[in-house]
Amino acid sequence: MNSLDPRSLIAMGGLMALVMGIVLGFTRRYYPSSILGLGYWAMAPAAMLGAAVFFGVPAPWFPEVWRWIANGFILLGFVLFHVGFRRFYGKPARWYRVLALYGLTMLVLAWYGGGEPSYRIRVAVVTGAIALVHMGSLVFLFRNGNRNFPVRMVQATLGLHLAVLLVRLQTVLSEGDVGNLLEASAIQTFYLGAYVLSGLLLSIGALLMATDRVRTELEHMATHDALTGTLNRRAIVGFCEEEHARSVRYGHPFSLMMMDLDHFKAVNDTYGHQHGDQVLVHFVDCARAALRRADRFGRYGGEEFLALLPNTALDTALPVAKRIHTALSSGHPLDCKVSIGVTSWKGKDDSLDAMLGRADAALYQAKAEGRNRTCTG
């Protein structure tokens, strides 16, 4: 059975690199600037396209230099993917390490390409350098990456290609005849195909990682208040509906706390809306610190906030409200007073609307009794 012509495989890899480079380039242009690393990911397929050109086109002059440039491009492509992963998660590129590895590799390739030619050593050096880059990317992603499909796909691609590279390195170091890149043999086709496929899958994985980040940011914008960063009304009510359904099904108690900042209109009128915004943010910080990890907290409207306390009866919810009052009495310049209405689920016939109504009525009772207190409903 005849093996696929290596030049055809290289041409196919170059075409795929061109397409992915264009896609990632436009992705960088149209995605939010908060998505870091896209520029490096867009340049990575471009570097691999350069490698395909220099590997696939016969050298018109100085074939040693031609091969040296080709090897430099293929290594650069994987280095740019690595730098892109680091920047995507907000980490510095650590250029001193990257440039040291790249520069040393290129110097060794230059020597064994012209000074003391050795195809075997050149293959070992390039293979080992790319393996080191893959190891660095894998370690970084396992430490910092999300546990989602795009990251798992990138990790799997890096891991499988790393295994191929290590087998290739072992073969090169233990056998005298390592073949030729353009030799039409099954083993050379396999190694060459691994490079082409890994470049394609890393490009797709990078695109999926960026798209997933955009989706996450859009979901956050749709469910969180822009000023305070807490849940917006739709999101907090949605969590309350889910908790109410669980309570109806399993009989677990839960509580709601409706909160309203006291004399907030006077704060805005006296000090201005910018100061009022700072007071709201400070209140949210204090309330979050007082609430428990499982609790949900959101802005219900204006200076009114709602907290959901799962698996919490009324007698357990009251100490949480007390902690909020205490947190707002620390002497901070932005400290404010808050009135709180608390209610708990009373059984399967108790609807969420009824609970919200009771919490709101208890809140206004706290206002009527002098503010800066908690009442139950």
CA angle in degrees (0–180, nearest 5) for 341-344-346: 140
Tokens read off for 197: 């496929």
Res 21: pLDDT: 94
> What's the residue count for the chain?
377
Set out the domains of the chain in order of their start, with CATH numbers: 6-223 (1.20.1070.10), 233-376 (3.30.70.270)
Q: Give 83-107 as a 3 state SS string.
A: HHHHHHCCCCCCHHHHHHHHHHHHH
Active-site residue list: 303
Q: Which residues contact 45 (CB under 8 A, 6 or more apart)?
A: 16, 17, 18, 20, 21, 24, 77, 199, 203
Res 35: pLDDT: 93
Q: What is the pLDDT along the chain (377 residues), one digit of tens a residue?
A: 455 677 888 889 999 999 999 999 999 999 999 899 999 999 999 999 999 998 888 777 777 888 889 999 999 999 999 999 999 999 998 899 999 999 999 999 888 776 567 778 888 899 999 999 999 999 999 999 888 999 999 999 999 999 999 998 888 888 655 566 666 667 778 888 899 999 999 999 999 999 999 999 999 999 999 999 999 999 999 999 999 999 999 999 999 999 999 988 888 888 898 988 999 999 999 999 999 999 999 999 999 999 999 999 999 999 999 999 999 888 778 778 999 999 999 998 999 999 999 999 999 999 999 999 999 98
Torsions phi, psi for 135 (to 5 deg):
-60, -45
Res 267: pLDDT: 86
